[in-house]
């Protein structure tokens, strides 16, 4: 494994491939996160973003309505 | 629905708050002393020339105190407060909480009791010796263990975004700290980095950069996602953005380390990779900053009245500026000017004073009245603190920016005939003085502000009554049912262990991408046959160089740029530092580069210069190292040092350790003889030459000179690349 990587790092073309690969990994990862986030429901988002504000009235706001 | 009573532990929050304030003042004061030493070197050299407060020793004390003591305790304060509330659960173990607290304070005490004595590894922000490193690792695990156990027994289903940042902080700092701290102990107070040269540099800056990312940034972003919505009394601007922010930030940050090594002998492709990811980093950083600032939408009127919000707004703005500037500094053309100058100092202080400092102040102003069930003693005083601190930051940063830019340009200024305009490095240093004075004033103002805060907090605490156990009633967690309605991220954040593993993987991708080259470059570094291990005396001298923290002001890295090679000589090659455990490339040039120092000047010059820098370089701001002339060189660990070096791959011949001392004495005698032979009569002080040689050949200064005369000379012989 390491020998394979080293082999590529030794040449200029190989090094280029290494940088491109790193960028691709991130772009794909980023797109996956982005797509999945756009598919989140508004109601869940509101519920989640209210978590820190629920300290003051712990009893009423904490209940997970979906599961009651 | 079953309701349970939960008691939040406020006492631990109080402890950490007080520790934050105490160490904050200490760390800042040490910084002020260091700043004053550069502004008024004569005063410190003539009246306060104590070895324990010389610049090279207290600069690391300042950075460690501010990062790990002030900011570290501040982070714990915020996490221990918000974690319990976000999870509706008391900390899992009080015992662990207090072990964490006292253990951390003990580590800080150890740092304060070792660094001024020159007990240091020399690696930036990781200067503490091996056994303190182990203590740090243990305390970090105690903290993580307690946090994780609390997460596992929580009374809410979901982990709020702040907690993801806490988890990422814990995981990544642990990885960074452990990998960067591989060192071979020689004694209780001395160890050598396991890595050498380029590899050591790469690991160090992979650590250094990400220590900023995961110790000074991610925990604060987590705290921002809790405290800003709390203070503004409205939810975070965009929860979707927070998810993107989190994953992109932790993915990208870890790659950017090599931007600290631009134009050095690190392979070029690794430098480029660091640059690309640094530029990309603008996006998640600004995503986070905007998410924080936009949380205040519709509540801007409250910023006028609420002092806590004021601090937060300045903190977030500074964060925005710093994270925009960072990527710019990682561009090679900008870095060429900024690197090794005070520009970097300005950059880190906008981050340290502005982002971390102002955030912590704001957070404490918000916490104390709640913990002590009262209102703040004086809002007016808090407001004054805000303005004086903001002014302090400006007065600190602006002169340093100008200083850095100016000095960077002075270094590269050429006459039409191809000679350097500022041939004498000292000229560029002397022109920094007005900026150093202004910077000290800025830093001083910031400390005055912090002292005003302490008074305000003290009065508030006196007036209030402490709520040690805050009791709330919360419903018992209803178990989640798995259904199609569950969206993916809820699935992850509902399962902390899975979440942590995914975080580790995301961080590891970037980490591996930097570690693979670290392993690969070993065989890619062109070995230079003329590069030989240090002689025993040079090795001891090198350890003195580390002890005195010379690397805090002197780099050993000539970049392959015309203005550098004209000034210093041949540029530094990767193969030259293969036996350097640790590497000493440095990151700041308060004094000139030393990579080609060897053989440039006579032994006698160095002897005089170390003891009275100003006589040979009028206007020099270097401390006088008089004690090196008086103290005998300690050779007790010489054998162990040679053995350790050999164990790490330095080719000392077998059995060399037994004749090392003889070798050392012979070299010391030669140097001492050379010094005395060329000494003016007055230097002999009425002694005979023989007596004088005998007197100085056993002193530390001879070892130091031996090392200085060796640096960079290997390839001055006949370089032959294998």
Q: What ipTM score was computed for the predicted complex, to two decimals?
A: 0.74
CB atoms within 10 A of CB B368: 24
CB atoms within 10 A of CB B272: 17
Q: What part of A 10-29 touches B (C-beta under 8 Å)?
A: 10, 15, 18-19, 22-23, 25-26, 29
Task: Tally DSSP H helices, then E strands, for chain A.
Answer: 4, 0
Residue B435: inside a domain, yes or no? no
Residue B87: inside a domain, yes or no? yes
Structure confidence at residue B151 (pLDDT): 92
Residue B143: inside a domain, yes or no? yes
Query: Residue B609 belongs to what H/E stretch?
Result: helix B603-611
Cis bond upstream, residue B642 (ω within 30)? no
Residue B631: inside a domain, yes or no? yes
CB B386 within 8 A of CB B307: yes
Considering only the beta carbons, identify the residue of B243, B506, B523 that sits closest to A6.
B523
Cα–Cα distance measured from residue B73 to residue B342, given in angstroms and rounded to the nearest whole number: 27
Domain range for B541 is 536-716
B627 burial level (CB within 10 Å; 0-12, 13-18, 19+): middle
SS3 content of chain B, % helix, strand, coil (to 5): 70, 5, 30
Q: What part of B 125-164 touches A (C-beta under 8 Å)?
A: 155-158, 160-162
The verdict on A60 touching B (C-beta cutoff 8 Å) is no
Structure confidence at residue A64 (pLDDT): 39
**Residues in a beta bridge with B190:** B187
Domain boundary among B134, B158, B182: B158
Q: Do A59 and B473 touch (CB under 8 A)?
A: yes
Q: What part of B 540-559 touches A (C-beta under 8 Å)?
A: none
pTM score above 0.90: yes
Report the residue of chain B nearest A56, measured CA to CA. B472
Of B318-332, B438-452, B486-500, the range with the lowest mean pLDDT is: B486-500
For B102-114, the pLDDT digits (tens) are: 999 999 999 999 9
Which pLDDT band, with edges at 50, 70 and 90, does A40 fall under?
confident
For A14-35, the pLDDT digits (tens) are: 667 777 777 788 888 889 888 8
Residue B278: inside a domain, yes or no? no
Burial track B8-28 (b if 16+ CB lie within 10 A, e otherwise): bbbbbbbbbbbbbbbbbbbbb
Secondary structure of residue B96 in the 3-state scheme: helix
Residue B584: inside a domain, yes or no? yes
Distance (Å) from the C-alpha of residue B606 to the closest C-alpha of chain A? 42
List CB contacts (< 8 A) between B243 and chain A.
33, 37
The verdict on B472 touching A (C-beta cutoff 8 Å) is yes
The verdict on A3 touching B (C-beta cutoff 8 Å) is no
Which pLDDT band, with edges at 50, 70 and 90, does B488 fall under?
low
Cα–Cα distance measured from residue B632 to residue B694, given in angstroms and rounded to the nearest whole number: 12
Q: Report the number of distinct structural domains present in chain B.
A: 2
List CB contacts (< 8 A) between A40 and chain B.
240, 487, 489
Q: DSSP class of residue B535? A: P
Strands B183-187 and B190-193: antiparallel
Residue B593: inside a domain, yes or no? yes
Considering only the beta carbons, identify the residue of B226, B272, B277 that sits closest to A52.
B226
Cα–Cα distance measured from residue B656 to residue B654, given in angstroms and rounded to the nearest whole number: 5
For B470-481, the pLDDT digits (tens) are: 998 888 765 444
Structure confidence at residue B153 (pLDDT): 87
| Nearest by Cα to B710 from B591, B553, B540 | B540
Which pLDDT band, with edges at 50, 70 and 90, does A67 fall under?
very low
Structure confidence at residue B491 (pLDDT): 58
Distance (Å) from the C-alpha of residue A34 to the closest C-alpha of chain B? 7
CA B244-B247-B250 angle, 5° bins: 135
The verdict on B102 touching A (C-beta cutoff 8 Å) is no
Residue B630: inside a domain, yes or no? yes
Domain boundary among B130, B158, B186: B158
Structure confidence at residue B473 (pLDDT): 87
Structure confidence at residue A30 (pLDDT): 87
Over range A40-59, report the average pLDDT.
76
Sign, Cα dihedral of B639, B610, B586, B73: positive
Which CATH number characterizes residue B701's domain? 1.10.760.10
Domain boundary among B158, B178, B209: B158
CA B699-B700-B704 angle, 5° bins: 130
């Amino acid at each position: 494994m390491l020998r394979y990587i080293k082999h590529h790092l030794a040449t200029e073309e190989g090094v280029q491939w290494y940088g491109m690969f790193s960028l691709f990994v991130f772009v794909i990862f980023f797109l996956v996160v982005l797509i999945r986030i756009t598919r989140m429901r508004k109601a869940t988002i509101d519920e989640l973003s209210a978590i820190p504000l629920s300290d003051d009235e712990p009893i009423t706001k904490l209940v997970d309505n979906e599961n009651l | 629905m079953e309701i349970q009573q939960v008691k939040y532990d406020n006492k631990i929050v109080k402890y950490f708050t007080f520790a934050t304030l105490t160490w904050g003042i200490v760390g800042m004061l040490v910084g002020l002393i260091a700043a004053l030493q550069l502004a008024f070197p004569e005063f410190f050299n003539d009246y306060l020339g104590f070895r324990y407060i010389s610049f090279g020793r207290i600069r690391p004390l300042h950075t460690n105190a501010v990062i790990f003591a002030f900011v570290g305790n501040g982070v714990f304060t915020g996490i221990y407060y918000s974690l319990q509330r976000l999870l509706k659960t008391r900390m899992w173990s009080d015992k662990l909480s207090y072990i964490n607290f006292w253990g951390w304070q003990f580590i800080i005490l150890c740092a304060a009791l070792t660094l001024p004595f020159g007990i240091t590894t020399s690696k930036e922000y990781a200067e503490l010796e091996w056994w303190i490193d182990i203590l740090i690792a243990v305390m970090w695990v105690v903290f993580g263990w307690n946090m994780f156990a609390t997460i596992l027994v929580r009374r809410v289903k979901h982990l709020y975004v702040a907690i993801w940042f806490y988890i990422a902080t814990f995981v990544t700092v642990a990885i960074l700290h452990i990998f960067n701290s591989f060192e071979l102990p020689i004694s209780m107070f001395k160890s050598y980095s396991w890595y050498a040269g380029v590899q050591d540099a790469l690991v160090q800056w992979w650590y250094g950069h990400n220590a900023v990312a995961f110790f000074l940034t991610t925990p604060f972003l987590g705290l921002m996602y809790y405290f800003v919505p709390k203070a503004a009394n409205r939810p975070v601007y965009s929860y979707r953005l927070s998810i993107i922010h989190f994953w992109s930030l932790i993915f990208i940050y870890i790659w950017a380390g090599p931007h600290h090594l631009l134009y050095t002998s690190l392979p070029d492709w690794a430098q480029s990779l660091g640059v690309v990811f640094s530029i990309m980093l603008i996006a998640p950083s600004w995503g986070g900053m905007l998410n924080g600032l936009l949380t205040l939408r519709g509540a801007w009127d409250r910023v006028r009245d609420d002092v806590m919000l004021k601090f937060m707004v300045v903190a977030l703005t500074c964060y925005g500026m710093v994270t925009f500037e960072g990527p710019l500094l990682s561009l090679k053309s900008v870095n060429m000017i900024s690197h090794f100058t005070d520009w970097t100092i300005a950059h880190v202080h906008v981050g340290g004073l502005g982002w971390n400092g102002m955030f912590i102040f704001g957070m404490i102003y918000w916490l104390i009245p709640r913990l002590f069930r009262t209102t703040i003693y004086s809002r007016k005083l808090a407001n004054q603190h805000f303005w004086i601190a903001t002014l302090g930051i400006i007065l600190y940063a602006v002169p340093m920016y100008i200083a850095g830019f100016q000095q960077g340009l002075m270094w590269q200024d050429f006459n039409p005939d191809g000679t350097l305009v500022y041939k004498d490095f000292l000229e560029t240093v002397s022109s920094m003085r007005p900026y150093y004075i202004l910077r000290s004033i800025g830093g001083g103002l910031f400390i005055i502000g912090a002292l005003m805060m302490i008074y305000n907090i003290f009065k508030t605490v006196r007036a209030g009554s402490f709520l040690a156990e805050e009791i709330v009633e919360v419903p018992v967690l209803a178990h989640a049912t798995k259904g199609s309605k569950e969206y993916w991220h809820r699935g992850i954040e509902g399962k902390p262990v899975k979440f942590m593993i995914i975080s580790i993987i995301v961080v590891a991708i970037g980490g591996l991408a930097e570690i693979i080259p670290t392993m690969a470059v070993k065989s890619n570094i062109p070995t230079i046959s003329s590069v030989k291990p240090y002689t025993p005396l040079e090795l001891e001298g090198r350890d003195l160089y580390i002890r005195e923290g010379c690397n805090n002001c002197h780099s050993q890295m000539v970049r392959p740029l015309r203005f550098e090679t004209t000034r210093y000589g041949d540029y530094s090659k990767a193969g030259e530092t293969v036996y350097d455990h640790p590497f000493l490339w440095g990151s700041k040039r308060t004094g000139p580069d030393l990579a080609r120092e060897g053989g440039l000047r006579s032994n006698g010059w160095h002897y005089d210069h170390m003891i009275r820098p100003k006589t040979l370089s009028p206007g020099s701001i270097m401390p006088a190292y008089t004690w090196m002339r008086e103290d005998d060189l300690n050779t007790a660990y010489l054998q162990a040092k040679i053995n350790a070096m050999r164990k790490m791959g330095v080719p000392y011949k077998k059995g060399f350790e037994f004749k090392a001392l003889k070798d050392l004495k012979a070299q010391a005698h030669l140097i001492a003889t050379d010094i005395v032979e060329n000494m003016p009569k007055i230097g002999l002080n009425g002694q005979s030459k023989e007596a004088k040689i005998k007197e100085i050949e056993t002193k530390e200064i001879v070892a130091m000179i031996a090392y200085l005369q060796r640096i960079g000379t290997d390839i001055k012989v006949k370089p032959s690349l294998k």
